[in-house]
Structure 1
Amino acid sequence: MTLFEVEKKKFSGMDSLMEKFHQKLKNEKDRALFVELVHGVLRYKNLIDYYINFVTKKGVKDKRILNILRVATYELLFLEKIPEYATVNEACEVASKISPHLKAFVNAILRNIIRNKNQIEESLERIKEIDLKSYISIKLSYPKFLIDYLEESYGFEKALKILEFLNTRPPVGIKINTKKTNVDILVQELRKSGVEYEVNSHNSEIIYILKGNIKDTQLYKQGYFYFQDLASSLVVGLNKEDFKKAKKVLDLCAAPGGKTFNCAEVIDGFVVACDINDHKLDVLRENILRLGFDNIIVAKSDAEIFNPDFAGRFDIVIADLPCTGFGAIRKKPDIKWNKSYQDIENLHELQVRILDNAASYLKRGGLLFYSTCTLGRKENEETVLKFLDKHKDFSLVSQITIFPDEFKCDGFFISKLRKEGER
């Protein structure tokens, strides 16, 4: 298995696990609470553990009991609609199924957290006065390396704004399929369905769903939209004139398909959409049929391995590559805890290797769009600089960092590079 395959699998692992348990819940409110609890605990794990450790002193060694306490503590700190007694009783009942004597232990810890909330908060404020980075690491719940990394990239004040925003809950984003409908028609249908929505100010073809299960509507089944955040839509959205002129576009890492579909809507030609995962390719094909596109060719290809069939054939190559995903923490809070600085280094090298292949697939005068859903200069600006140093026949046209706190979406990076020569 190549590093590319490993990273793609790691990035989707939590989603697959969530989906497995999510499908077992039939009640929509239960499903919503399940997602809230899992994401909430992951989002604020350091803060939750600080509360638990404050009252237990020696910590909790049994991971099963620790996770029961984490969920209950999250409810106590963040979910005001659930009565404290209900949270404690439920946690005790779950603990008793593991071992009857643990019921009293869990009860004592949670009662102590309730009684000592003010004292715990005061102790945390004292940490703020002594060591601000440690305070942020606990209060906002981020590993210290990530705080340092973003500070090195953007400065302390900007890093703090980013970290605060990445702890907010993301709405569901959909992109209108302009081959079938337009903004006015779709919003009328959303109103009829009782769905609460907001049209994005940066791209009116992106709509955020504030309330309602949009996937169960006929609008979804008829292919009037697909799921996409504003950030990833901007690869094509900010460069529509380039894509309109292109006849052949290659999307190297296409799944789940957003940028491929963006291309298919505007180009007068065809898109070759690649991925390494068979299941993702099947889902991609299903969505192509649902959306009604007839200008997309799906191909299994590993972006890390040079494909001679692609050499010199494309006007545009999209390389939205494996990355640490720090820009997507709102949707995938587990990223906080499953990445390290070494991952940043490894992925930077992987990105450069894949871009070496991407360069070979372009015609002379063609455009390479390199993008990531992460933040920090190593995987973004420095990857571009290293690529340009190796490929003197390329020049930088433009690049932009989509800061999540400014655009109110995922953090993202887009670089446009041109290969020398005339098409």
Structure 2
Amino acid sequence: MEKFHQKLKNEKDRALFVELVHGVLRYKSLIDYYINFVAKKGVKDKRILNILRVATYELLFLEKIPEYATVNEACEVASKINPHLKAFVNAILRNIIRNKNQIEESLERIKDVDYKSYLSIKLSYPRFLIDYLEESYGLEKTIKILEFLNTKPPQSIKINTKKTNVNTLTQELEKNGFKYEINSRNNEIVLILKGNIKETELYKEGYFYFQDLASSLVVKFNQEDFKRAKKVIDLCAAPGGKTFNCAEVIDGFVVACDINEHKLDILRENILRLGFDNIIVAKSNAEVFNPDFAEKFDIVIADLPCTGFGAIRKKPDIKWNKSYQDIENLHELQVRILDNSAGYLKRGGILFYSTCTLGKKENEETVIEFLEKHKDFSLVSLTTIFPDEFECDGFFIAKLRKEGER
């Protein structure tokens, strides 16, 4: 997506491109329901199916684009792939326009027979995910979460307090014509409501970095712990948000680890841009115990690989490329990495385990399993950042303390 996005010179074209790609991914089940309602035998050619999906998204969600323009454009693109299918595409789309009310009524009838199947189509989520989140939070809460995760996220930036402050940065935003909103839960998080802030000198000069409110709360909620710490390790640091949060407040240094060399290069570039001199970058595999780190750190940040269900607003493809087996596999991986993490802490040190996902298997159950194995750790707090309540990514933070005095 990024490759094609860069080819578009006009800002409105780029915005529409993102709208169409994310929109189709966000509502794929609903869109396919409309297409299959009128295409009784289905659509065998995937390229034609995707043309129909984009066009159907426009018909259902983009009121500013006239229906005739959507149909004409779809037919033109289809004719370049297969001229014989131009009439087929035209017929499908015109039937969707003609039968919108009938299609909506048929969907409502499913609601009366099988409510969760209806939700799976209407909200466009795989059925296993609805069932899984219902087990964790109940159906009413699950619906609120899934509805919010279908909303469009604004750009979220974190002010680099090593270089500037809230007043100075917001004044610069106003000068440059940006519409913004300061987050009420963390005033160093600013939501950019209009404009592309990455193209500005403010970005190049390192006055901010991109970060969602949710991941900023690991440090924000526990600032006193980080201010007291001298040595902190971030085990899966890329893209670096929590590392930078930590580097802003600690009177010491942070070791930022990752296994991916490309991600580490990006991390190094951002450290230079942001002007931090208290971050050490290290290539390290979190799954393998590193004896060089044994009992060296006051705080371990373990923001671990997860299914990412909390980040669906930004990455709607997550809906369609994850399965229940991924939940099981990642839970096991998380427990293995946390086993290593325990060995990196000094006595009295604090382990922060976090994920950008929802559901108890990867969150509470991972913590329970860790505590059963590590009797020298105690639970200080568990926090679930519900996206519908905090209006940000879904997130989970566990704070665990190792027995003893530092």
Where on the TM-score scale, by shorter chain, does this alignment land: which range? over 0.9
- CA offset digits 1:327-351 (Å, max 9, x no partner): 0000000000000111000000000
Distance 1:97 1:259 in 2: 47
The reply to whether residue 377 of structure 1 matches residue 360 of structure 2 is yes
Unaligned runs of 5+ residues in structure 1 are 1-17
Alignment of 1:392-407 (within 5 A): 392-407=375-390
Matched position secondary structure for 2:360: coil
Q: What percent identity do the matched residue pairs reach? A: 87
- CA offset digits 1:16-38 (Å, max 9, x no partner): xx212211111111111111111
Unaligned runs of 5+ residues in structure 2 are none
Matched position secondary structure for 2:209: strand
Indicate which of 187, 192, 196 corresponds to 1:204: 187
What is the letter of the counterpart of residue 356 of structure 1?
D
Give 1:178's aligned residue: 161
Distance 2:262 2:91 in 1: 47
Moved over 4 A (4+): none
Distance 1:418 1:57 in 2: 59
What is the letter of the counterpart of residue 354 of structure 1?
I
Give 2:21's aligned residue: 38
The reply to whether residue 270 of structure 1 matches residue 253 of structure 2 is yes
Distance 2:200 2:318 in 1: 31
Distance 2:105 2:215 in 1: 41
Matched position secondary structure for 1:23: helix
What is the letter of the counterpart of residue 39 of structure 2?
T
Give 1:164's aligned residue: 147
The reply to whether residue 23 of structure 1 matches residue 6 of structure 2 is yes
Alignment of 1:203-282 (within 5 A): 203-282=186-265
Structure 1 residue 290 displacement after superposition: 0.6
* Number of positions where the alignment pairs a residue of Structure 1 with one of Structure 2: 406
**TM-score of the two chains, using structure 2 as the length reference:** 0.99
Distance 2:376 2:41 in 1: 60
Structure 1 residue 43 displacement after superposition: 0.3
CA RMSD in angstroms, aligned pairs only: 0.6
Matched position secondary structure for 1:293: coil
The reply to whether residue 411 of structure 1 matches residue 384 of structure 2 is no
Distance 2:121 2:382 in 1: 34
Structure 1 residue 99 displacement after superposition: 1.1
Structure 1 residue 58 displacement after superposition: 1.4
What is the letter of the counterpart of residue 280 of structure 2?
I
What is the letter of the counterpart of residue 269 of structure 1?
G
The reply to whether residue 137 of structure 1 matches residue 131 of structure 2 is no
What is the letter of the counterpart of residue 88 of structure 2?
F
Structure 1 residue 203 displacement after superposition: 0.4
Distance 2:6 2:371 in 1: 46
Distance 1:104 1:309 in 2: 67
The reply to whether residue 360 of structure 1 matches residue 343 of structure 2 is yes
Give 1:12's aligned residue: none
Distance 2:250 2:184 in 1: 24
Matched position secondary structure for 2:206: coil
- CA offset digits 1:140-197 (Å, max 9, x no partner): 0000100011110001110110010000000110000001111111111100000000
Alignment of 1:74-153 (within 5 A): 74-153=57-136
What is the letter of the counterpart of residue 75 of structure 1?
E
What is the letter of the counterpart of residue 352 of structure 2?
F
Structure 1 residue 324 displacement after superposition: 0.4
**TM-score of the two chains, using structure 1 as the length reference:** 0.95
Distance 2:196 2:47 in 1: 32
